[in-house]
Chain A
């Protein structure tokens, strides 16, 4: 009798079992249940919430995302099974995770001008660069603790050296259109409630045109920068012999505001090869750095020898580049078209991108991999949207449209927030994103 009843409704119902890697309060009973196949992701989410509510009376509704065979469900279950050719006769195992989407939007942190660069690699603070020539350090949304002075042109790129060091003192580097890079030392723990102005302790000169991008070596000993003069310069970040000396010099400088800092740096090596503006550099490992340029190429450089070990042409101007993902080897890049491309350089003999995400409608200005997840990345575009992507689906996980103008930069922060700056002079923080 029971079997007959099932067979009759086989066309519309399917037996599934929900599994998860989440911790106990999120664990659903591992029994299999029959559900209608026309359920979408929202239906499945409601179902799992109901299941959890049955086991736990004071359950708060949570959005979930669902995997079948390692692919995110983005249509009705029936269509998904048909598209993937999965038999509906077996018990289907559906894995669920908490949906990756921002649950909270913090108040925008207002700047005086366009926010051109943002770095969230240190969980204690956010570093932003602005077109008014000042770098800013934000403790949380709307709380600016430090103002980094010194540049005479708009800041184009910022980075925090050795961001996960233990003490509160951090060195940050900024690149600017005035053709220089500046290094600042900030102590994030000494915040007394009022804005503190900091002068740079070192100025790095050597570029012949606006510096477009900057990246620090993982240990923080060196930094590299790409510029409109087609060159990549590698600089020594902090002189080993002067630790406390500089502090004293700097303290003295605080009183004499107008004077330029004495210390200047020269590039220790120059990587030549690009024929147009170097728009983005990444330094993921000690010896290798990646660069992207307006000459349509992405290159991998060996820092010791100064030779490029890989040269990849993609046919479009590239504005942003990041290396991450599976074993930190996938290259994500976006540029002068609305497509975010991801290459796997380990694949031999092909230059075709392995993934292409094309939900944006204008140039992509920034892309960043998540620190811990192999699958998630964030992208910013001139269409005013920030999108969260998962490699397992071609649709964006979430679209953040809190900006009113072009978004110029985006980054992850504290591995559960997305921070983005744009031409509306705002730094937007979207928090409580439960990646993993």
Chain B
């Protein structure tokens, strides 16, 4: 029964041609060769008739099958036919094979009560390993001692490089080419022409020279190459070369080449910012003491000046002629021309008084109106009852008529340092630095009233100004500038100057920018929309700034100082809020002489031309034109 399925191994193969188609041997008599090299003859095939007859004769003939491969007739046994039949039926070939044996349950799926190997769990399974702990202690010690390095990064492998290759890239050293030596010329020939040979005097002169200046080579003539001697400086030069090699510094000095011009901020050229005042053409002479204050009228035809000699003068701008003089007796502190063109009134502060002078420069009608205005005052002021608490009593300020000058005289109880007009020309403010709570007063010309500013002053007031368009008032103390809204009566902003002592302030005609001059020579530009700190601080004057001024229409501002100069700047304010003001220094105006340590005491721009007036301690007013 254990017979193999494959019978091929046991049956001796008769085929010797191999696995080739038998058509190849169709016409041959033999088929293959035997082991002796002889042709194996084909068996004669019985034809169809014979085979039919044989099958008719022999009932067992169907058992015979022609094996084409081995060229023989095989007779199938009974087992073999039975096996074929079973295969044809799709059954296992051997009848003994049982396709459906009964399953034997060798391993039960039910859990056994006792484990199969019934040994207890060893102790090592739950006790830490002694050898592992020893190993860990060793590693930890090694890490602590630094013998073992814990590094997450994978170790870098050594770079493979070309040993004999070009090593310039590896050492990153820059090559400095040596200077090219001069090529030898005719004079270095062994036999140069005569014009190259120095004369005896020249050689003597060379010897008198310093060694460094002396020419390195003095041409000489030799009759032939043979007579040229050995180079006499050869040893010396190689020695020097050796010195150079071992004494030269091996580190490369890195020099940064920065053009100092490129570090300057980019500013537009001064030429593009014309016109601005540059040259002094006119001088207004006549004062006998330092000119303390100047003011121009609204048209720019006249300029008024006040001096320590006690006079106020009005000058004609175009000719320099002194048009009118008022003798006020005491040193003038401040003059201010009424900004209204219909009201040619000049406010002058002298000692404790403020005078409102009629200049008489308007036409007849205007002059009459001014006269009336200045006359009625004296009576009105007396009869005014203290209706409002803000109105100041007569002990502080007394309005009276001054007939000598045809003027109103406001007698204050303390020294008045400055007078400022409101833009409409009806209100004006006076400043008494030591007047404490009543230091800043606002007067109304048409009604003859005086009011106190309803704000508490923090410190000694130095300078005041009206806003050029809105009802806003600026008061500067020595450290800070406070900005008040007069209508709402409250503080709007406080500008921190950060300077030692403020001397004067000026408001940009747009009203959003303020410049502050200080006694330590600093000029601060504040952009009030930006911050309460200065937008820019210009530290240009070595001495006190006496006055700062803005031009009414041109983008110019100026500062005058005790160092006898006045600076003119371009100060452009843009309507675009994103763009910061542009400040360019333009010109230093000199010309005033220093008297008693004081220089230029006041500066004012001409209202319509890009011209600057400066008043000096040398009692001269100068006009700088573009």
Q: What are the residues of chain B within 8 A of A317 when measuring CB–CB?
A: 609, 625
Contact B282 A209 (CB under 8 A): no
Q: What are the residues of chain B within 8 A of A295 when measuring CB–CB?
A: 608
B321 beta carbon closer than 8 Å to chain A: yes
**Considering the chains assembled together, what is the distance between the CA atoms of A120 and B7 in angstroms?**
159
The tally of CB-CB contacts under 8 A between chains A and B is 52
Q: What are the residues of chain B within 8 A of A270 when measuring CB–CB?
A: none
Q: Mark A282-310, 1 if CB is under 8 A from B, else 0.
A: 00000000000011000000000000000
Contact A209 B320 (CB under 8 A): no
Minimum distance in angstroms from B122 CB to a CB of chain A: 112
Contact B282 A363 (CB under 8 A): yes
Q: Name A279's closest neighbour in chain B (CB-CB).
A: B318
B382 beta carbon closer than 8 Å to chain A: no
A382 beta carbon closer than 8 Å to chain B: yes
B626 beta carbon closer than 8 Å to chain A: yes
**Considering the chains assembled together, what is the distance between the CA atoms of A338 and B281 in angstroms?**
9
Contact A423 B319 (CB under 8 A): yes
A277 beta carbon closer than 8 Å to chain B: yes
B388 beta carbon closer than 8 Å to chain A: no
Contact B281 A209 (CB under 8 A): no
Q: Knowing A114-B321, A276-B608, A319-B318, say if A363 contacts B281 (CB, 8 Å).
A: yes
Q: What are the residues of chain A within 8 A of B609 when measuring CB–CB?
A: 294, 317, 336
Minimum distance in angstroms from B606 CB to a CB of chain A: 10
Q: What are the residues of chain B within 8 A of A406 when measuring CB–CB?
A: 319-320
Say which residue of A228, A336, A362 sits within 8 Å of B301 (CB atoms). Answer: A228
Contact A294 B282 (CB under 8 A): no
Q: What are the residues of chain B within 8 A of A363 when measuring CB–CB?
A: 281-282, 625
**Considering the chains assembled together, what is the distance between the CA atoms of A423 and B319 in angstroms?**
9
Q: Mark B346-376, 1 if CB is under 8 A from A, else 0.
A: 0000000000000000010000000000000
A337 beta carbon closer than 8 Å to chain B: yes
Say which residue of A114, A131, A179, A228 sits within 8 Å of B299 (CB atoms). Answer: A228
B192 beta carbon closer than 8 Å to chain A: no
Q: What are the residues of chain B within 8 A of A408 when measuring CB–CB?
A: 319
Contact A337 B625 (CB under 8 A): yes
**Considering the chains assembled together, what is the distance between the CA atoms of A316 and B299 in angstroms?**
17
B591 beta carbon closer than 8 Å to chain A: no
Q: What are the residues of chain A within 8 A of B318 when measuring CB–CB?
A: 279, 319
B275 beta carbon closer than 8 Å to chain A: yes
**Considering the chains assembled together, what is the distance between the CA atoms of A188 and B49 in angstroms?**
182
Tell me the interface secondary structure of chain B in the complex: loop
Residues of chain B at interface, number, CB under 8 A: 17
Contact A179 B301 (CB under 8 A): no
Contact A382 B301 (CB under 8 A): no
Q: Which residues of B (384-442) have their CB < 8 Å from a CB of A?
A: none
Q: What are the residues of chain A within 8 A of B275 when measuring CB–CB?
A: 315
A145 beta carbon closer than 8 Å to chain B: no
**Considering the chains assembled together, what is the distance between the CA atoms of A363 and B611 in angstroms?**
13
Q: Mark A188-211, 1 if CB is under 8 A from B, else 0.
A: 000000000000000000001110
Q: Which residues of B (45-68) have their CB < 8 Å from a CB of A?
A: none
Contact B321 A209 (CB under 8 A): no
**Considering the chains assembled together, what is the distance between the CA atoms of A268 and B363 in angstroms?**
21
**Considering the chains assembled together, what is the distance between the CA atoms of A116 and B323 in angstroms?**
14
Contact B321 A131 (CB under 8 A): yes
**Considering the chains assembled together, what is the distance between the CA atoms of A276 and B275 in angstroms?**
17
Q: Which residues of A (221-273) have their CB < 8 Å from a CB of B?
A: 228
Q: What are the residues of chain B within 8 A of A210 when measuring CB–CB?
A: 301
Which of B279, B282, B319 neighbours the largest number of chain A CB atoms within 10 Å of its CB? B319
Contact A208 B363 (CB under 8 A): yes
Q: Name B611's closest neighbour in chain A (CB-CB).
A: A336
Contact B281 A382 (CB under 8 A): yes
Q: Knowing A363-B282, A406-B320, say if A209 contacts B625 (CB, 8 Å).
A: no
Q: Which residues of B (603-622) have their CB < 8 Å from a CB of A?
A: 608-609, 611
Q: What are the residues of chain A within 8 A of B299 when measuring CB–CB?
A: 209, 228, 277
Q: Name B609's closest neighbour in chain A (CB-CB).
A: A317
**Considering the chains assembled together, what is the distance between the CA atoms of A208 and B318 in angstroms?**
18
Q: What are the residues of chain B within 8 A of A315 when measuring CB–CB?
A: 275
**Considering the chains assembled together, what is the distance between the CA atoms of A336 and B282 in angstroms?**
10
**Considering the chains assembled together, what is the distance between the CA atoms of A131 and B318 in angstroms?**
14
Contact A382 B363 (CB under 8 A): no
Q: Name B625's closest neighbour in chain A (CB-CB).
A: A336
Q: Knowing A316-B626, A336-B625, say if A209 contacts B363 (CB, 8 Å).
A: yes
Contact A336 B363 (CB under 8 A): no
Contact A382 B608 (CB under 8 A): no
Q: What are the residues of chain B within 8 A of A316 when measuring CB–CB?
A: 626
Q: Name A361's closest neighbour in chain B (CB-CB).
A: B281
Q: Which residues of B (584-608) have their CB < 8 Å from a CB of A?
A: 608
Q: Knowing A228-B301, A316-B626, A317-B609, say if A179 contacts B321 (CB, 8 Å).
A: no
Q: Knowing A208-B363, A277-B301, say if A336 contacts B608 (CB, 8 Å).
A: no
Minimum distance in angstroms from B301 CB to a CB of chain A: 5
Minimum distance in angstroms from B556 CB to a CB of chain A: 15
Q: Mark B316-360, 1 if CB is under 8 A from A, else 0.
A: 001111000000000000000000000000000000000000000
Q: Name A363's closest neighbour in chain B (CB-CB).
A: B281
The chain A residues found within 8 Å of chain B, CB to CB, are: 114, 116, 131, 154, 179, 208-210, 228, 276-277, 279, 294-295, 315-317, 319, 336-338, 362-363, 382, 406, 408, 423
List, sorted by A's number, 20 A–B pairs whose CB atoms are closer than 8 Å.
A114-B319, A114-B321, A154-B321, A209-B299, A228-B299, A228-B301, A276-B300, A276-B608, A277-B300, A279-B318, A294-B300, A315-B275, A316-B626, A336-B626, A337-B625, A362-B281, A362-B282, A363-B281, A363-B625, A382-B281
* Other A-B pairs, 20, CB within 8 Å; known A114-B321, A116-B319, A337-B281: A154-B321, A179-B363, A208-B363, A209-B299, A209-B363, A210-B301, A276-B300, A277-B299, A277-B300, A316-B626, A317-B625, A336-B609, A336-B626, A362-B281, A362-B282, A363-B281, A363-B625, A406-B320, A408-B319, A423-B320
Q: 10 shortest A-B CB distances, which residue pairs?
A: A336-B625, A362-B281, A363-B281, A228-B301, A179-B363, A208-B363, A276-B608, A317-B609, A228-B299, A114-B321
